[in-house]
Amino acid sequence: MGSEAPLPKWASTPCIMGIDEAGRGPVLGPMVYGCLYCARSYQKTLATLNFADSKTLKEEKREELFENLKADDSIGWSVDVIDPRELSAKMLKKNKVNLNEISHDSAIGLINRVLNMGVLLTEILLEYSDQSKGITRLMKENGGLVYLDTVGDADKYRIKLSERFPSIKFVVAKKADSLYPVVSGASIVAKVTRDRALREWVLEETSENMHRSFGSGYPGDPETKAWLAHHKHSIFGFPTLVRFSWGTCTSYYKDMVEVESDKVDEDVGYGSSGKQLKLSNVGFGKASKRKIEEIESSGKGRCKFFHSRKLEQLTHF
């Protein structure tokens, strides 16, 4: 998602690019990385467009500025929307990927995407010749510049990026979204994209009692906590909107069913009490085969998940 017009002429001149994120902390919804880029020659004009750290702007102002930058032919932008399921899966898999690494990978992906489009972010090499002295050599001229709001240690992050993209100059700083207009613009791109994604989110689950009054999505929001408590399921956990790897969800796990296996997985966690419900406690245990078939055929005792989807047990294929 982003600028889809043919590459403008200014993109073949040295450009600057800003990268920022929205939605790193919430327990609900995607995390979005956004970038904004333009010619270095447009930098002074960019400073007059009233871009600011998106967190300091009201929603109406962010939307207005986003529409303005989309209509500006001298600006390009792009986003990477990271689904909450992807975040949790990476953070909980055996070879875990932490949130900082996910953030770094997203930023690197945006840089690659813009470079592959043909936007000039790299340094320019010019051949310099002095025939009177018989000297020919290559000289570097100021090329592109990429600004980022830091994730983790700023110096380590800059070194990591420089090793990956040795021909690009990076500026990595805390609160870069309030220091550099190009990062402020990227912040607005990311924040508006995330806000719209949440507003338009289609809940895949079909339980009768589901609703969208989930508040801000931040762990400390009482409305968000109430929504989580109301929408947890003892077997299926949380709706796909939830980042179930977040610590906020941990307190709900003690009420969920324990999955038993012949093999012990060191990564399996338990609630604070050390005990969880077993599948046998919710009607899937040691009942006779005939009894199970009777229950299945009648539809009684079946979980809402199966009932709402009209799913039935198959005994013959």
The binding site comprises 20-21, 149
First to last CA, the chain: 43
Here the tokens at position 97 are 């990927």
Angle formed at CA 30 by CA 28 and CA 32, multiple of 5 degrees = 135
What b/e readout covers 73-100, taking b as 16+ CB neighbours within 10 angstroms? eebbbbbbbbebeebbebbeeeeebebe
- CA gap 51, 165 in Å, rounded: 27
For 303, counting Cβ atoms within 10 Å of its Cβ (0-12 exposed, 13-18 middle, 19+ buried), the class is middle
Cα-based torsion angle of the residue sequence 285, 291, 296, 297 in order, rounded to the nearest 10 degrees: 180
A 10 A CB-CB count for 4 gives 7
Q: Pull the structure tokens for residue 188.
A: 């607005």
In the annotated binding site for a divalent metal cation, the residues are 20-21, 149
Q: Are 5 and 110 in contact (CB under 8 A)?
A: no
Secondary structure of the chain: what % helix, strand, coil (to 5)?
Answer: 40, 20, 40
